[in-house]
Amino acid sequence: MAFRWKNTLTHDDVTPEAHWLNRRQLVAGMAGAGLATMAGGASADSPKPDSWEVITSYNNFYEFGTGKGDPVKHAHRLTTDPWSVRIDGMVDRPGDYAFKDIMAKMQIEERIYRFRCVEAWSMVIPWNGFELKDLLDLAGVQSGAKYVAFETLYRPEEMIGQKYAVLDWPYVEGLRLDEAQHPLTLMATGIYGKAIPNQNGAPLRLVVPWKYGFKSIKSVVRITLTDKEPPTSWNKANGREYGFYSNVNPNVDHPRWSQASERVIGGGLLAKRQPTLMFNGYGPEVMALYEGMDLKKYY
């Protein structure tokens, strides 16, 4: 069901470059005067979305290289048409779902979300997409299912970063079923009303705005419903640093750096850091999912 969640961030259709530079002052003001509103979570006044250039030229997509600029350089090799997503496991209607058929059935809406990387930087991104729940409903989730596993395309001849064993390819991710069915959980197919560029995870990717960015798996080719917690790539690579949940949490540091604050990308050389919000500011919406859980243990 579309439109279950209403955008809390503002958005100008076309925002001139100068505005992005002014964000610096906005953010600086926020750090002081905004603390009270921040406690309120998602209602906090947030800066406008980053520019198309920022969002599409600064990417972590190790399938195309480990540098932030590698994906925009190499992702053009990726063939995204035809594309299909295999939905299998504990579903009533397993099978290969063509991307075109999915798009024909889904209602696309805009979601302006904060995006917080585990590396302690952040952006604001105007996604277009549909709720993951709608896609899961299309396949019919069976009653015993508890988790959703995701898989990125493995095609080293096009995804040249996959020739190096930086991670155990293909990239895999997972969510608990209730997280996957949450109205905030999006399958993004566009940015700024345009088809999502390859370097951002074309043709469709997951977006879970209250979790660190690496949970939001890109270029998805498989979705599997299961009753067991699925393995996830960064957890396999370093379980002490990257947990299954990986909710944005300023109180639980990454072993190698603090998560209490974040660098705002696109603010220029002198941009001020801003405090990181619990659940990336989406606490009011998602807190109930983790009631009674020790978030230091389930990081």
Partner 1 sequence: MVDALNRTLRRFPVWPIYAVAALWPAWLLWQGLNGALGVDPVKVMEHALGEKGLQMLILGLAITPMRRYLGLNLLKFRRAIGLVTFWFIFLHLCVWLILDVQIVAQIWGDILKRPYITLGMTGLVLMVPLAATSNNWSVRRLGSSWRRLHRLVYLVAILGGVHFLMLVKGFQWEPILYLAVILGLLGLRLAPKRRVRLT
Binding residues (CB under 8 A) for partner 1: these are 53-54, 57-58, 62, 66, 68-69, 119, 121, 164-167, 234, 237-238, 253, 255-258, 260-261, 263, 265-266, 268-273
Tell me whether residue 7 or residue 238 sits nearer to partner 1 (CB atom): 238
Give the count of alpha carbons within 13 A of 121, CB side only.
15
> In the bound complex, what is the minimum distance in angstroms from residue 85's beta carbon to partner 1?
26
Tell me whether residue 155 or residue 273 sits nearer to partner 1 (CB atom): 273
> In the bound complex, what is the minimum distance in angstroms from residue 273's beta carbon to partner 1?
5
Tell me whether residue 104 or residue 270 sits nearer to partner 1 (CB atom): 270
Sole residue written with tokens 């405090």: 275
> In the bound complex, what is the minimum distance in angstroms from residue 18's beta carbon to partner 1?
12
Sole residue written with tokens 């990336």: 280
- Count of Cβ atoms closer than 10 Å to residue 118 Cβ: 19
Tell me whether residue 92 or residue 168 sits nearer to partner 1 (CB atom): 168
> In the bound complex, what is the minimum distance in angstroms from residue 166's beta carbon to partner 1?
4
Gap between the Cα atoms of 139 and 157, Å rounded: 31
Contact 185, 208 (CB under 8 A): yes
> In the bound complex, what is the minimum distance in angstroms from residue 296's beta carbon to partner 1?
16
Gap between the Cα atoms of 296 and 294, Å rounded: 5
Tell me whether residue 95 or residue 275 sits nearer to partner 1 (CB atom): 275
C-alpha 26 chain-centroid distance: 24
- Count of Cβ atoms closer than 10 Å to residue 57 Cβ: 15
> In the bound complex, what is the minimum distance in angstroms from residue 168's beta carbon to partner 1?
9
Positive or negative, the CA dihedral 148, 7, 97, 59 is negative
Tell me whether residue 209 or residue 267 sits nearer to partner 1 (CB atom): 267
What is 255-285 written as a DSSP string?
TTB--SEEEETTS-TTPPPEEPPGGGGTHHH
